[in-house]
Structure 1
Amino acid sequence: MDRILIKNARIVNENRVFESDVLLQDKIISRIDRDISDDKAEHIDLKGNLLIPGIIDDQVHFREPGLTHKGNIASESRAAIAGGITSFMEQPNTVPQTITIEKLEEKFALANTSSYANYSFLFGGTNDNLEEIKRLDKKACSGIKLFLGSSTGNMLVDDEAVIEKIFLNTEMVISAHCEDEETIRNNLALYKARYGDDIPVKYHPLIRSEEACYLSSSKAIALAKKTGARFHVFHVSTGKETDLFRNDIPLEQKKITAEVCIHHLWFSEEDYDTKGTLIKWNPAVKTAQDRSQLWEALLDDRIDVIATDHAPHTLNEKNNVYTKAPSGGPLVQHALVAMLDKYHEGVLSLEKIVEKMCHNPAILFEVEKRGFIREGYFADLVAADLSSNWSVAKENIAYKCGWSPFEGHSFKSKVSHTFVNGHLAYKNGDISSKRNAMRLTFDR
């Protein structure tokens, strides 16, 4: 049994910042108080450093099964806990795809024997698996995922009648990748006619354009409103789309919600010249104005969640000509410290970071007893030193793919400790060999 007493923590939780000790016992936060004594517990003195709830990342691609040369559940969950992410929700576009209940449970079995972070999986919707969706228990996994734009793999859902039936036949959160396939196809044809396969990557945001994003997301939101479905838009990338979302009601009352990813908050089209295909994502990183509008919507609560869309590829794959270079990049290890840099810059508060990365994913997906520092909740916690500068280099990158779009950047803060269900899973660069992860459960 792990029994740990965290002393002198500067806790950020539920819009408060306060000094306290925290006692962890048998996977649970057993006590939160100003001065706790316990001779039987292992003592960890944070000396006033930050302590926040474990981050819940609602969108990752860990590549297992079928694509494990890029990453796997073990390697990428280790990188996640090194970055303070204690729970993840993985996407269905693996090989084979997670589009049957049988394949979903096979993925849970894989995670049970390999994951270092708590885990759940999204169930993929297709044009022809409605009956499987109807059979899926609402507590079985984190939710349904639809690709309303053929981002990766053969999972495009383009039959509007099917989409409406899916919206009508589940109580679960339906998350979607929203880009209009016809618009993208037409744009790509224009640039291929001019450049062939070696299209300059700076044109990526014009191929996977604002129009493609807005057309798809606005149409899907209209359908969600018509059917009453619970709908969540993944990785919003344009300023125009932010006007589709509300901030006049609490998150618990929202039927339509939105997420923004680290890369869309950090990079802009100006970075393509130096980063090239390393920052080729779908949806594309767009203009500095789009980035500014995404920040505005995040801060005024039209956007509810910050996630990563962690999607590793090998450097050999990324270093291809435009049409052959895959979209996506690794982010879980550096997401929290990237947002802490924005805290140092005065862009957002510690409370807002915790709200968007910890509390809101738990609320939105109805995750049971996680996402908050509360007595009786699972002891998923992250400690960070806000005054510990370090630079991203190949020797400290934990991703299996071995690279990061942040390589060479110096962060102002460092994750020092990560606790997963009361176990010290990560400490100052060392990842514990013991796995203490659990399958996420849902209060639905």
Structure 2
Amino acid sequence: MNKLLIKNAKLVNEGQTTEGDLLVVGERIEKIANEIAAPENCAVIDAAGRYLIPGMIDDQVHFREPGLTAKGDLATESAAAIAGGITSFMDMPNVNPLTTTRPVLEDKYRLAANRCSANYGFYFGATNRNIEEIKALQINEACGIKVFMGASTGDMLVDDSDALELIFEHAPVMVVTHCEHSPTIWDNEARARAQYGEDVPMSEHPNIRSAAACLASSTLATGLAKRYDALLHVLHLTTAIEMGLFARGHRSEKRITAEVCVHHLWFDESRYAELGSRIKCNPAIKRAEDRQALLAAVADDRLDIIATDHAPHTAAEKDNLYFKAPAGLPLVQHALQTLFELSKQGHFSVEKLVDKTSHAVADIFGVKERGYLREGYYADLALVNTEKPYTVSPANVLCKVQWSPFEGQRFSSSIDATIVNGAVVWQDGKLSGEVVGQRLQFDRSR
């Protein structure tokens, strides 16, 4: 078995940062101590005071496979993820074919085997008509049941009230929701067309995908979860007004949890003038006041998880008028650097960052033996150098579409190494070529 000793690291785990060593044997963490002597035939990395953290578990990505692979695939996007210190991901069901039956779900797992650089789990998609498939779903078959309560996903929009009631009543695993009220959005689109025609300014996006549309849908979702005592996780929240729906406190005390994404913590509506469709996403990036409220809600534990919602589109697709430019951004490669930058700015501690990107995801989704620096757990690790600046450019972007909304941004941190299942898969700006990602195992039911 391979052996790897990481020495002189700042180990960030369970709310504390301590200096010490960590030994990996095979796929797992063998020992954590103040000082560990290198065993025979052991590779050694001198961390020299850099942060060693559990790799980020991204609970929301769109890697576009099967069916949409001009934009990305499981191999390319997972490679970009490990370059960003993400060691596990959970992929969404709005692909082609839609992941809305159990046989199609298992086909997707077979497609991923031996092709992913990071560990992987897949969501099962809800529709207005597949309640029997949802009832039959087994706990370890999917990380959750994705319900699109918004207008961006065509055939996967769940807008039938009876169907929603049945999903929340019978879901055998966690329900996760995209919350936007479609009729409100459609009315706003009609008003924008009446004013601007087809050439709607991108700055209108947060007015079309408005705070009111978000609040109406998230209020419905949280109400249904309370009525049926369902586990609910609300994805990519964007508004100050929605924060009143969620409780402060530790996730262990909650049946309803909430997520925010890195781009909503980083950008606000002032950036549409510069970036235009490059930051068009659903739900929309909104006001500076909303961004500040989200940052505060991370700090006070109203928001439980930070994710990416990585959703690549080609540059040619993005370079269109408002109604033709698709929503979504490629984000996995630079998410942790963004968060370390926000931590440096004083918005939250490094310990809080690690809790929201690793510990909380493992706890809320029931990810087995990952998400912590613990002896016996899988060695999924990221080594972060906060003294080594990194500037984003198209030349160093690894996702298939080869652009980033962060182009030109100089981050103060770099991901020096990423370790997945004990293997060094990214180091010193290079992929190792090893493809060691495994299917995630889940053990949390409703």
Give the alignment's TM-score, normalised by structure 1. 0.99
Partners of 2:80 and 2:423 in 1: how far apart? 16
Structure 2 partner of 1:242: 243
SS across alignment from 2:108:
helix
SS across alignment from 2:123:
strand
Structure 2 partner of 1:43: 44
State the shift of 1:85 in Å: 0.3
Partners of 1:46 and 1:390 in 2: how far apart? 18
The answer as to whether partners of 1:20 and 1:34 remain within 8 angstroms in 2 is yes
SS across alignment from 1:348:
coil
Aligned ranges 1:123-142 → 2 under 5 Å: 123-142=124-143
Number of residue pairs matched by the alignment: 443
Partners of 2:154 and 2:261 in 1: how far apart? 21
State the shift of 1:39 in Å: 2.5
State the shift of 1:139 in Å: 1.4
Structure 1 partner of 2:417: 417
State the shift of 1:141 in Å: 1.5
The answer as to whether partners of 2:299 and 2:347 remain within 8 angstroms in 1 is no
Higher mean C-alpha deviation, range 34-43 or range 83-92: 34-43
Structure 2 partner of 1:393: 393
The superposition leaves residues 125-184 of structure 1 with CA deviations (integer Å, 9 ceiling, x where unpaired) of 000010111111011120100000122342100011111111111231100000000000
The answer as to whether partners of 1:99 and 1:123 remain within 8 angstroms in 2 is yes
The answer as to whether partners of 2:137 and 2:172 remain within 8 angstroms in 1 is no
Aligned ranges 1:127-206 → 2 under 5 Å: 127-206=128-207
SS across alignment from 1:29:
strand
The superposition leaves residues 205-233 of structure 1 with CA deviations (integer Å, 9 ceiling, x where unpaired) of 00010000000000111111011110110
The answer as to whether partners of 1:93 and 1:153 remain within 8 angstroms in 2 is no
Q: Is the counterpart of residue 83 in structure 1 residue 84 in structure 2?
A: yes
Partners of 1:48 and 1:443 in 2: how far apart? 35
Identity of aligned residues (%): 49
Partners of 1:354 and 1:171 in 2: how far apart? 29
Partners of 2:153 and 2:163 in 1: how far apart? 20
Aligned ranges 1:282-321 → 2 under 5 Å: 282-321=282-321
Structure 1 partner of 2:278: 278
The answer as to whether partners of 2:127 and 2:157 remain within 8 angstroms in 1 is yes
Structure 1 partner of 2:9: 9
The answer as to whether partners of 1:78 and 1:398 remain within 8 angstroms in 2 is yes
The superposition leaves residues 220-250 of structure 1 with CA deviations (integer Å, 9 ceiling, x where unpaired) of 11111011110110000000001100014x3
Partners of 1:417 and 1:50 in 2: how far apart? 11
Partners of 2:138 and 2:61 in 1: how far apart? 22
The runs of 5 or more residues in structure 2 that have no matched partner are: none
SS across alignment from 1:154:
helix
The answer as to whether partners of 1:380 and 1:420 remain within 8 angstroms in 2 is yes
Partners of 1:310 and 1:281 in 2: how far apart? 10
The answer as to whether partners of 1:57 and 1:88 remain within 8 angstroms in 2 is yes
State the shift of 1:398 in Å: 0.7
Partners of 1:2 and 1:209 in 2: how far apart? 52
The answer as to whether partners of 1:83 and 1:336 remain within 8 angstroms in 2 is yes
The superposition leaves residues 54-103 of structure 1 with CA deviations (integer Å, 9 ceiling, x where unpaired) of 11000000000111000000000000000000000000000110000011
Partners of 2:8 and 2:237 in 1: how far apart? 38
Partners of 2:378 and 2:154 in 1: how far apart? 35
Structure 2 partner of 1:373: 373
> What letter is aligned with 1:10?
K
The runs of 5 or more residues in structure 1 that have no matched partner are: none
> What letter is aligned with 1:171?
P
Partners of 2:23 and 2:122 in 1: how far apart? 30
The answer as to whether partners of 1:171 and 1:230 remain within 8 angstroms in 2 is no
Q: Is the counterpart of residue 31 in structure 1 residue 31 in structure 2?
A: yes
Structure 2 partner of 1:338: 338
Structure 2 partner of 1:436: 436
Give the alignment's TM-score, normalised by structure 2. 0.98
The answer as to whether partners of 2:5 and 2:43 remain within 8 angstroms in 1 is yes
Partners of 2:271 and 2:153 in 1: how far apart? 23
Partners of 1:220 and 1:416 in 2: how far apart? 40
State the shift of 1:40 in Å: 2.0
Q: Is the counterpart of residue 93 in structure 1 residue 94 in structure 2?
A: yes
State the shift of 1:2 in Å: 2.0
SS across alignment from 1:290:
helix
SS across alignment from 2:139:
coil
Q: Is the counterpart of residue 403 in structure 1 residue 411 in structure 2?
A: no
Structure 1 partner of 2:107: 106
Structure 1 partner of 2:230: 229
Partners of 1:116 and 1:195 in 2: how far apart? 45
The superposition leaves residues 389-442 of structure 1 with CA deviations (integer Å, 9 ceiling, x where unpaired) of 121011111110010000000000000000000000100111121111110001
